[in-house]
């Protein structure tokens, strides 16, 4: 278990550093860096999971390092979309709809509420 935690932590470190550098490089009037990181991260987590499942030769540690760690550190949006993809693939349409709509709606409302409260205390 400790090896798995270390794999996720190391991958998150590298993913977070790459996200920071990429976002700084691309941001301008619109948050292009964040947009690009989210789209690239979604593609990357799909690609990695597809290759890993097809090959079957990747260790649990490496899979966690690459997907949960690196991609999750690069962008949690990729993890969110990867989870939605697996729900779709499993035919879990109601949980999928709730996760997609609920996460975006409640996430945005939570940012607004947190900002509103924070600006008043």
Same domain flag for 80 and 119: no
How many CB atoms are located within 10 Å of the residue 11 CB? Answer: 24
Same domain flag for 67 and 35: yes
What predicted TM-score, i.e. pTM, was given to this entire model? 0.72
Token code pair at residue 8: 């996720």
pLDDT recorded at residue 27: 67
pLDDT recorded at residue 36: 83
Q: How far is residue 74's CA from residue 37's CA, in Å, rounded to a whole number?
A: 7
Same domain flag for 110 and 74: no
Domain count, the chain: 2
pLDDT recorded at residue 69: 93
**What is the extent of the structural domain holding 113?**
93-121
Q: How far is residue 87's CA from residue 58's CA, in Å, rounded to a whole number?
A: 23
Residues 6+ apart with CB under 8 A from 32: 26
pLDDT recorded at residue 79: 77
E strand map for the chain: none
Task: Please list the pLDDT of the chain residue by residue as tens digits (121 residues).
Answer: 899 999 999 999 999 999 888 878 876 667 777 788 888 888 998 899 888 888 888 898 999 999 999 998 998 787 788 888 999 999 999 999 998 999 889 988 988 988 898 888 8
Q: How far is residue 39's CA from residue 81's CA, in Å, rounded to a whole number?
A: 10
Same domain flag for 49 and 80: yes
Same domain flag for 78 and 105: no
pLDDT recorded at residue 37: 85
Same domain flag for 22 and 40: yes
Same domain flag for 64 and 84: yes
pLDDT recorded at residue 28: 67
Same domain flag for 102 and 69: no
Same domain flag for 80 and 114: no
């Amino acid at each position: 278990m400790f090896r798995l935690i270390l794999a996720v932590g190391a991958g998150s470190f590298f993913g977070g550093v790459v996200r920071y550098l990429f976002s700084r490089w691309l941001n301008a009037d619109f948050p292009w860096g964040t947009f690009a990181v989210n789209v690239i991260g979604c593609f990357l987590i799909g690609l990695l999971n597809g290759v890993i499942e097809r090959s079957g030769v990747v260790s649990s540690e490496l899979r966690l390092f690459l997907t949960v760690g690196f991609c999750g550190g690069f962008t949690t949006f990729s993890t969110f979309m990867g989870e939605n993809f697996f729900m779709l693939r499993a035919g879990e349409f109601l949980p999928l709809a709730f996760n997609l709509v609920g996460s975006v709606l409640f996430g945005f409302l939570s940012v607004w509420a947190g900002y509103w409260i924070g600006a008043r205390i």
